[in-house]
Amino acid sequence: MFTGIVACMGRLVSVVSEATGVVWEVETPWADATLGESVSIEGACLTVVKQEGSHWFFELSPETLRCTNLGQCQVGCMLNLERALCLGDRLGGHWVLGHVDGVLRIVAIEPEGEYTKVVLGDVPQQAAAWCVPKGSITVNGVSLTLNAVRRAEIELLLIPHTQKNTTWCQLGVGSLVNVEYDYVAKIVSHGQSVYKG
């Protein structure tokens, strides 16, 4: 489990295609990986399968490549990184599983003083119940607040710290971003649909 508070950015060093998917080599600031540990990379929970110092290796399955924007990442690009929570850690954002629900497209980016308003479009109808105004959402691994929710769009507001210290600085209108809707909202919605059933 994660919180959506990005610890740092890492760099994608290599991408190797294999019969079962893709293997990424990511340069991290850490040298203490445990094989099998989970790391949120751009919001997707990936498993450390090998370590060479600060270079960590991850396998991306066909399902991960289908459901996320990770297949579009190019060697050299920066990646949002967060290690899994340990018991006793602060929960600074919200509950994040790293199970990406899908991708959305950035349809607008507008400055608002020091802040940046971002509008994401093409929100699926089924996800509307999971988008609660002033609730939480994870976008590319970053815990954010839903400032406004419209029929097929959601609006976010980025503070300067988020813009400077995450991969948001690489994104523009038209970029695809990984989205994980709020876990609690999804559980409540699922429970209601089962009881209506």
**Over the chain, what HEC string results?**
CECCCCCEEEEEEEEEEECCEEEEEEECCCCCCCCCCEEEECCEEEEEEEEECCEEEEEECHHHHHHCCHHHCCCCCEEEEEECCCCCCCCCCCCECCCCCEEEEEEEEEEECCEEEEEEECCCHHHHHHCCCCCEEEECCEEEECCEECCCCEEEEECHHHHHHCHHHHCCCCCEEEEEECHHHHHHHHHHHHHHC
Q: What is the CA radius of gyration of the chain?
A: 17
For the chain, the domains span 8-83, 102-196
CATH architecture of 102-196: Beta Barrel (2.40)
pLDDT in tens, the chain (197 residues): 999 999 999 999 999 999 889 999 999 999 999 999 999 999 999 999 999 999 999 999 999 999 999 999 999 999 999 999 988 888 888 989 999 999 999 999 999 999 999 999 999 998 988 999 999 999 999 999 999 999 899 999 999 999 999 999 999 999 999 999 998 888 887 777 767 75
| pLDDT value at residue 197 | 59
Global model pTM greater than 0.85: yes
CATH of domain 8-83: 2.40.30.20
Contacts of 29 (CB under 8 A, 6+ apart): 8, 10, 54
Q: Do domains 8-83 and 102-196 have the same CATH topology?
A: yes
